Amino acid sequence: MKKIVIAIALISLFASTAYPCFDTYLFLRKGSMVYPQRSLVFDLNNEYSFNSVGAPQNDMFFLNGNIYYGIARNFSVQFSLGSGEKPRNDFKIDSYGIRGVYNLFSSEAQDYTLDVIAEHGGRFDGAENEMTFSLPNIFRSEQLTYVVHPTATYAFENKNMTVGGHTGLFYDFNESGVIGVGAEYASVQSSSSAGQRITQSEFSASLFLGAHLGSSIYLQNEIAKGVSNSRDFGFALTTKIIL
């Protein structure tokens, strides 16, 4: 089974790019969204969005690098730097982000966790300057993981508040991989960077694949499809390294 999961993930890697909606590393650890204390983790994620299959000149691309560090047992931080979403032939390091995750509650059986996430992200020129607060709820039953994640984002440039959320159901293969499905409304599914990307944060559905490769590398791939008033579809890929 492990070979099958790795093969699917590798096929997805070479077939497309993807993005970090949910977190394979944390899912397989069966904890909350908080990174382990004193752990240092790096990931690189990139996204490719098809606004319209018939107009490839309108495709969009996004690239982002992230550093995570577990400050305490129930608190971790994340710092991001990258190239914000723009036409596929354009690249410029112009976006940043900072996120804090605090575990509010974890059951003794570790079958339920509740966190609070605060994130600020934007571009150096002041565009897409946003503050996001969210409450990820994670439920577990043996090899199944269910996520309910309400979000609220305030965009400073247009003084607009957007309330949304996402949900997903996942199955893990004995700590070697994850497969799941997700759905969202006005939310980027706990991605490592806020903003309207892939399906422009409207109604969408997605297929998620993740794999644990070796001792310190995690790979995850997602295919997202707009359902209502959105882009055609997009792909995202994240490679995570435990330092």
DSSP state of 18: B
Pairwise CA distance, residues 222 & 18, whole Å: 5
* Residues 187, 123: Cα–Cα separation, whole Å: 19
Q: What is the pLDDT of residue 102?
A: 97
pLDDT attached to residue 232: 64
CB atoms within 10 A of CB 90: 11
**In this structure, are residues 181 and 208 in contact, taking their beta carbons and an 8 Å threshold?**
yes
Q: How far apart (Å, rounded) are the C-alpha atoms in residues 51 and 60?
A: 7
Neighbour-count burial of 139, counting CB atoms closer than 10 A to its CB (0-12 exposed, 13-18 middle, 19+ buried): middle
Quote the pLDDT of residue 90: 86
SS3 60: strand
Which helix or strand (DSSP H or E) is residue 204 part of?
Answer: strand 203-213
User: What's the pLDDT score for residue 189?
Assistant: 43
Can you list the residues of the chain whose pLDDT is less than 50?
2-21, 189-201
What residues are paired with 179 via a beta bridge? 171, 209
Contacts of 24 (CB under 8 A, 6+ apart): 177, 178, 210, 211, 212, 218, 219, 220, 240
Q: Which of 228, 170, 167 is nearest to 201 (CA)?
A: 228
Identify the bridge partners of residue 60 per DSSP, sorted by sequence position. 49, 87
Sorted by sequence, the CB contacts under 8 Å of residue 68 that are 6+ apart come out as 35, 39, 40, 41, 42, 43, 76, 77, 78
Cα–Cα distance, 215 to 243 (Å, whole number): 11
